[in-house]
A and B are shown apart, each in its own frame.
Chain A
């Protein structure tokens, strides 16, 4: 009944298009605020070089922004095209932040971004600055609403199942908005975007300095990026969104998987800094553990235990049995809406309905599952431990590296207003890919760690797909790969060309000013 191939292809397509979209988003988030800061300095000091900086970084922002917008459209379409059952099952809640994002944030951003590029000679200085800030703020508000939607997938609060409409329905918008997982994700994600923007400006400026051109331009750009980057790199690590993971049962599974923690440890749990998770034997070899650290990070306390994978799996078996009761009652209610006994049973077990649905992989009727199938389904609730373990550690390592890098940059740049020694410029150029790598790793940890669910504990991924043919998904998937690869080539070509040309060629009105070194 459920085609594994359809599920896997749909997941692959969503993952590829989301990761591709997420190549452009962090830079948009970071650069939009950096542009606003640079232009603020221009308006306050009246020095034309700051205007030239805003315009030049704005050109690069524009090349990146175009693809961010283009690939964002794919994300909105795909919920409907490839995840139709998901859309109708949770659209009542999930659609709300997406629609408000369009209304409140994306509209503002997209309408005013035209004025950012075309309004320089049509608006007053302050007027244009207001437009730039509005674009930056709207970009960040966009991220807020998208992460409220995403946070709800990780921790579905403020909603309840309605058997009459056969879907989840909103019970409290307030709970959805103030979802702690969403709030933590927002801060973490925009901080990561700011780091990306800062590293981008540092790297391109270092390139100019290494070529010995646009020295004043590059040094000032670095001064802004270094201070902004230091604050952002601290924030992205300190306010990592692991703090939100303990909010729900399944987030606990994610933490346990990230830590490859097979058994519950006495509080406060130690943090496994390094090791080799062995999924088959359920143990971690050569583990290097830092006492207390995980307990402190994950629970913000020293006396709350962090549960291990095996303990969570056993607990999930109870929830699956409860979910079977819920599903049985639901089938009765769908055929006999006035059956009060079945409605009462369903109400009592509704929060475990999703666990019952996990059994659909093994038996269409759910209620006739064997004990062996229940055990099998309970182990399905464990995500890919080894992949999460490594992805998380690489992401954190890159994050810590950025703190060191920006601390050095900040003191070097702020004290002397010189750009630092040559090796520092090479390092600045060399680390350019790292923010993208860590952003993609972070996305992978958050979303792959949510498996096997699309909505944690509510709707399994394999039930969320559309009723479409495998052939159709192959066609679209191949189309996306060819089309997106072409776009990436064109984008990189233009980006490199405009970076090589540098500020002089393309900020014509300021060409004669001090930006020429």
Chain B
């Protein structure tokens, strides 16, 4: 048994997918959250420029976590990429348009003096933060419920859902969890980086967002007892060429909780989600800025891991034809591709983290009206 055999490589890439998505949530999450808070924590142009410039120099690098996440799904889980992006077609286009508002919004807003111009971009930046946060949560909720697709013999997909079909109650709840936790996360960032009164307002909203995260996440947890989860029936080989058509899958209410019964240590994930958010709320209230940020990041780790662990080995179940569901064992790239991608990640990700750390160190310190005015590059 080789450690880097096909089965283990699939598990490693399942873990790496989690690492990249959590990396996205922590890094890009705080600037999406900041954009959500932006119109509310700044009451005049001076204050709004403070908010903008806390994330101005770094958000672009943060967004690469999303681009890398999508690229890694494309390379390591191509069929997931194909089904999720085309199945959620209009939702993805909406996310895309919202995300496109960000580079132009940050860059162009303060290039003109007009108040209408600036107020318009302020709200467009809010949309650019709120809409992706909501829809990514809704997408996870739909993955938990199952998505209406199936494959023919040539693995061509047939998708029977609609855009409004995505907006069912449970996925909307997941969308709200996502909005609440990224708002909390953005608030902890502003608590560290922004000058008063912006930071203070952000902390107050952040406490509410953290408590909302806990409440909505717990409600979601109880809801999962009622919704049908998916289970592979019978033996299923873990090291064959990827072909999702060779299995039987049953839909059983509460099946998403069986992993926790088999492996109780997995309960650490939801506990971390709740405890992290609680600590973030308390840190925000007491102005323990660093503690609040780290606690909020841990909450994101907990919440996202909970979704991933509940579904393992499923990645994207099919409600239309459960046998077509995509799992860790039949949706991955070839063994060689997974190995090459792992080498690339092992070599480059530490380098990425190193220069990212360098950039944050160079840019350390609170953003105030003085620092904004001192630099004509400011947004």
Contact = CB atoms under 8 A, between A and B. Distances in A.
A98 B78 contact: no
B108 interface: yes
B337 A92 contact: yes
Contacts of A99: 68, 71-72, 74-76, 341, 344
B243 A164 contact: yes
Interface stretch (B57-65, B189-197, B298-306, B309-317): B57-65
A110 B63 contact: yes
B39 to A, nearest CB: 20
A335 interface: yes
Given A67-B103, A85-B82, A494-B108, A114 B89 contact: no
Closest 7 CB pairs of A and B: A91-B78, A80-B85, A95-B75, A111-B61, A114-B57, A466-B86, A95-B74
Nearest to A160: B334
B352 interface: yes
Interface string B347-371: 0110010011001001100000000
Interface hub of A85, A94, A114, A171 (most chain B Cβ within 10 A): A114
Interface in A314-355: 331, 334-335
Interface stretch (B155-163, B247-255, B264-272, B279-287): B155-163
Given A91-B78, A123-B362, A81 B68 contact: no
B67 interface: yes
B64 A110 contact: yes
A114 to B, nearest CB: 3
A148 interface: no
A103 B82 contact: no
B103 A468 contact: no
A117 interface: yes
A118 B364 CA distance: 12
Contacts of A286: none
A468 B86 contact: yes
A96 B334 contact: no
A370 interface: no
A95 B155 CA distance: 18
Interface in B28-68: 56-58, 60-61, 63-64, 67-68
A171 B376 CA distance: 52
A102 interface: yes
A17 to B, nearest CB: 10
28 contacts: A63-B108, A70-B99, A77-B70, A81-B85, A91-B75, A92-B78, A95-B71, A95-B78, A95-B337, A96-B75, A96-B340, A99-B72, A99-B75, A100-B341, A103-B68, A103-B71, A107-B68, A110-B60, A111-B60, A113-B61, A114-B359, A121-B375, A167-B155, A173-B336, A334-B154, A466-B82, A472-B89, A509-B376
B223 interface: no
Given A71-B100, A76-B71, A114-B58, A107 B64 contact: yes
Given A81-B85, A87-B74, A95-B76, A106 B67 contact: yes
Could you tell me the dominant secondary structure of chain A's interface residues?
A: helix
Nearest to A122: B362
A117 B377 contact: yes
B67 A73 contact: yes
A123 B93 CA distance: 39
A120 B355 contact: no
A487 B124 CA distance: 13
A402 B85 CA distance: 42
B92 interface: yes
Interface string A251-264: 00000000000000
Given A103-B345, A169-B336, A115 B359 contact: yes
Contacts of B159: 467-468
A475 interface: yes
Contacts of B84: 80
Given A96-B337, A173-B336, A107 B93 contact: no
Contact of B362 (A91, A119, A331): A119
Interface string B86-119: 1001101100110110111011100110000000
Interface in A85-143: 85, 87-88, 90-96, 98-104, 106-108, 110-115, 117-123
B64 A111 contact: yes
B153 interface: yes
Given A69-B103, A76-B71, A173-B336, 15 more contacts: A73-B67, A80-B92, A88-B78, A92-B333, A107-B348, A108-B352, A108-B355, A111-B64, A115-B362, A118-B57, A164-B241, A331-B153, A335-B153, A487-B100, A497-B112
A103 B348 contact: yes
Given A98-B71, A121-B375, A483-B97, A164 B240 contact: yes
Given A77-B70, A103-B345, A114-B61, A468 B89 contact: yes
A476 B82 CA distance: 17
Given A66-B103, A99-B68, A476-B90, A73 B96 contact: yes
Q: How large is the interface on B (under 10, 10 to 19, 20 to 34, 35 or more residues)?
A: 35 or more
B35 to A, nearest CB: 15
A90 B78 CA distance: 8
B27 to A, nearest CB: 10
B92 to A, nearest CB: 5
Contacts of B78: 87-88, 90-92, 95, 167
A383 B106 CA distance: 42
Interface in B147-174: 153-159
B136 interface: no
B242 interface: yes
B90 A98 contact: no
Contacts of B348: 100, 103-104, 107
Contacts of B96: 73-74, 77
B82 A87 contact: yes
Contacts of A335: 153
A108 B352 CA distance: 7
A92 B336 CA distance: 9
A104 B156 contact: no
Given A335-B153, A476-B90, A76 B57 contact: no
A335 B355 CA distance: 52
B123 interface: no
Interface string B331-343: 0011011001100
Contacts of A102: 64, 67-68, 71-72
Contact of A63 (B107, B156, B158): B107
A162 interface: yes
Contact of B158 (A71, A82, A467): A467
Contacts of B108: 63, 66, 490, 494
A406 interface: no
B83 interface: yes
A81 B63 contact: no
A93 B337 contact: yes
B334 A162 contact: yes
B79 interface: yes
Contacts of A472: 89-90
A179 to B, nearest CB: 15
Contacts of A90: 78
Given A77-B85, A102-B64, A118-B377, A62 B74 contact: no
B103 to A, nearest CB: 4
A99 B76 CA distance: 9
Contacts of B90: 472, 475-476
A165 interface: yes
Nearest to A166: B155
A104 B154 CA distance: 34
Contacts of A70: 99-100, 102-104
Contacts of B75: 91-92, 95-96, 98-99
B351 to A, nearest CB: 8
Nearest to A58: B377
Contact of B336 (A79, A95, A171): A171
A342 to B, nearest CB: 14
A71 to B, nearest CB: 7
